Amino acid sequence: MKSNAYKELGLKDEEYQRILTILKREPTPTELAMFSVEWSEHCGYPRSRKYLKMFPQKGKYEALVGEDAGGFVYDDMAIIFKMESHNHPSQVEPKQGAATGVGGIIRDIFTTGARPIALFDSLRFGELNNAFNKYIFNGVIDGIQFYGNCVGVPTVGGEIYFDDSYAGNCLVNVMCIGVCEREKIARARAGGIGNPIIYAGSKTGRDGIGGCSILASSEFEAGELEKRPTVQVGDPFTEKCLIEATLESLKTGVVVGIKDMGAAGLTCSSSEMAAAGEVGVEIDLDKVPVREEGMEPWEIMMSESQERMLICTSKGDEDNILKIFHKWGLEAVVIGYVIAEPKVLIRSQGKLICDAPTEELAKAPIYDMPFKKSKIPNPKFKYAGSKNHNKTLLELLSDPNIASKKSVYEQYDHMVQTNTVVYPGGDAAVLRLRGKKWGLAATTDCNGRYCFLDPYVGAQIAVAEASRNLVVTGAEPAAVTDCLNFGNPEKPDRFYQFKQCVEGIADACRFFQLPVVSGNVSFYNESPKGAIYPTPTIGMVGIIKDIERRATVPFKADGDLIILLGANQEDDGLPKIDLDLESRVQKACLEAIKIGIVKSAHDLAEGGLAVALAEASILGNKGGVVHLAEKISAASLLFGETQSRILLTIDPDNIFSLSDLAMLLKVPCAIIGKVTGQRLTVYNRKKKLLDQPVKQLSKQYFQAIPNLLAGK
């Protein structure tokens, strides 16, 4: 390697000096490559780790924290889930970037011993009136459907937003959920001196080399397409075999530890398993299966080729594990052993090419980053809509941030495994677990614009809205994963956004008694156009204790009463939330669903009351007449995005039960109308504000994104 190779690998001068101090000599090319990937922001979190310790790790249920994926325990079952980003790879090579993002997060789940049962995608793109943004959008969707559909894990939910801030740097955040019995959870650690280390899965190639240090840990500049070689290539059919072989291997009881070769590949899996077990490992690279000739040792150690695992098994039992992987048509070979000395020793062609202390290699240095409050131009909200509220509603339903994403999710197989009982398109997906009365609800949420205007409050709203989306299905929120997407942390205003969002999430999760069990930080999300909106995406999973008492969005029957929980307020466009009120509104909704009096439930979010009413009408193919008596502006009343509001419908016979519940919890609760006919009509103080046929609302809602993609 060249004398300045460490800079090309993303290391700074002071980091290189630190490596010299640790090794007490010049590093070999392989050691230099290994330190560069392990100390990168994508792997080692040197700029964010200090703040991640703020997240609560205890909640209503037993939390499982500390491995590659976390979760919680309910009814002796471990619910394992995690969200990760694949932003830069997807901007550079949309299909393979998104596909390998799906594959990577699935591996994080099944290496814990949990069978993956559902996928969610939280996506952000530039606006669709731009041809290149359309190319990125179509490629990402193609990659998600290609990998997810082939591997046999249903994609059941997520979200899509479009904004110019994401035009040069899309966001592809993927969450996966898996389940297993509590006592069968696997660990990502090596142990037992002399125990063999097994490489299993696909062969190693040059794809993905430097993906975490070169591509994921720097911002985009002109010529970003030159980074295509650092994007991995995925094979979902191999991954399906890898899922089955891994889960079968874990059932043998002889696997000591197991880890996915994700970011940083063999470097990450070997050094971090050793560090977690407080042992060392010795590996012979000549035994690693490779698919390209002439690969240098540093290339093998940095490669991020997909569908690969590293396994530590008890001595004498390795042949049993090898046979299982061979049966599934996969590579499997012993490449090393656990050693007592806490070092990572790598040999190639009989030479020792890496002799690095495990702890120092696996644990990146922690930096105190300077921060400075962001300057926000013109934060005050001015209503820009037409005085014709019918026109404004139709425009909002046609806005791709609100319009139906059916044209996207209908490309995904959301019914494979036949566990999905509430399909994509609602507030949250609902999944059954065979043989159980209870089920799961899950969602992903974040409004980046709120976080731009006020990072602390915007992040709290992301937590509250995710929780609200679960509650309206009848689920009790249980735990959180996150995917923290921000710009360059070396710029003080960007780091301020990160710091404030982390504090907001931590405080909100602590208030709602929700542990943060796993997550991911993605920095450097900016291009020559500027930084993305701060986007701390929240993934949340909850328990529906009786799957038969779940609630959905659509209006159900003529004559049902339309109820508003929470209060309408004048909206100045600045994000605000009262967590205490939010908690009480959610509790009232959840209790009403549990006792069986709710026929439909929908949270109010983007577009406010008018859009929530329209969505319930569209999805139920039923209209409604609403009579309000509010002394606020029509714009705020119809389209204001005041938090802590939920729309319910109930049978008229149940109004006293709901009113008593709301009164007990001190929650504003008002009958605002009834379900009827095929038009949505809204009055305030006897003045008609809206009057639209459901058919017209549906046309705008469902055709908006297909029309944009078609250039109409």
Residue 248: CB atoms within 10 A of its CB come to 14
Q: Is 86 annotated as a binding residue?
A: yes
Mapping DSSP to helix (H, G, I), strand (E, B) and coil, where does residue 684 land?
Answer: strand
Tell me the C-alpha to C-alpha distance, in Å, between residue 633 and each of 98, 226, 563, 574, 670: 43, 52, 21, 16, 19
* The two structure tokens encoding residue 392: 């404004």
Choosing from 42, 389, 414, 602, the catalytic residue is: 42
Q: Is 108 annotated as a binding residue?
A: yes
Choosing from 86, 389, 414, 602, the catalytic residue is: 86
Q: Which amino acid is at 150?
A: C
Measured distance CA(10)–CA(19) in Å, rounded: 14
Longest CA–CA span in the chain (Å) reads: 87
Q: Is 305 annotated as a binding residue?
A: yes
Hunting for tokens 């209790």 — which residue is that?
591
Q: Are 136 and 91 in contact (CB under 8 A)?
A: yes
Q: Is 173 annotated as a binding residue?
A: no
Report DSSP state, residue 303. Answer: -
Q: Name the strands in the sheet holding 70-74, side by side, starting at the edge strand that comes first in the sequence.
A: 63-64, 70-74, 77-85, 171-181, 115-125, 155-162
- Is residue 326 annotated as part of the catalytic site, yes or no? no
Q: Name the strands in the sheet holding 439-445, side by side, starting at the edge strand that comes first in the sequence.
A: 420-422, 429-432, 439-445, 535-544, 476-485, 516-522
Query: How many CA atoms lie within 13 Å of 132's alpha carbon, on the beta-carbon side?
Result: 12
Tell me the C-alpha to C-alpha distance, in Å, between residue 692 and each of 172, 591, 618, 700: 36, 33, 11, 11
Q: Name the strands in the sheet holding 343-348, side by side, starting at the edge strand that comes first in the sequence.
A: 255-260, 308-313, 196-201, 331-339, 280-284, 343-348, 351-357
Q: Which amino acid is at 585?
A: V
Torsion-angle region of 55 (φ positive above 0: left; ψ -120 to 50: alpha; else: beta): beta
Q: Is 467 annotated as a binding residue?
A: no
Measured distance CA(463)–CA(399) in Å, rounded: 24
Mapping DSSP to helix (H, G, I), strand (E, B) and coil, where does residue 127 land?
Answer: coil
> Residue 247's closest CA among 319, 180, 177?
180
CA geometry: angle 223, 225, 231, nearest 5 deg: 140
Residues 6+ apart with CB under 8 A from 163: 124, 126, 127, 401, 448, 449, 533
Q: Cα dihedral sign for 544, 546, 547, 551?
A: negative
Residue 677: CB atoms within 10 A of its CB come to 15
Q: Is 383 annotated as a binding residue?
A: no
Residue ranges of alpha helices (H) inside 339-447 are 358-362, 389-398, 406-409
Residues 310-336 as b or e (16 or more Cβ within 10 Å = b):
bbbbbeebbeebbebbeebebbbebbb
Q: Is 522 annotated as a binding residue?
A: yes
Measured distance CA(236)–CA(433) in Å, rounded: 24
> Residue 7's closest CA among 169, 218, 205?
218
Q: Is 520 annotated as a binding residue?
A: yes
Q: Is 525 annotated as a binding residue?
A: no
Measured distance CA(7)–CA(21) in Å, rounded: 17
> Residue 516's closest CA among 506, 526, 525?
506
Q: Are 57 and 231 in contact (CB under 8 A)?
A: no
Report DSSP state, residue 290. Answer: B
Q: Is 286 annotated as a binding residue?
A: no
Q: Is 320 annotated as a binding residue?
A: no
Helices vs. strands in the chain: H and E counts, helices first: 23, 28
- Is residue 86 annotated as part of the catalytic site, yes or no? yes
Q: Is 260 annotated as a binding residue?
A: yes
Binding site members for substrate: 85-88, 107, 232, 304-306, 522
Binding site members: 45, 82, 84-88, 107-108, 232, 260, 304-306, 482, 519-520, 522
Catalytic amino acids? 42, 86
Binding site members for Mg(2+): 84, 108, 260, 520
Binding site members for ATP: 45, 82, 482, 519
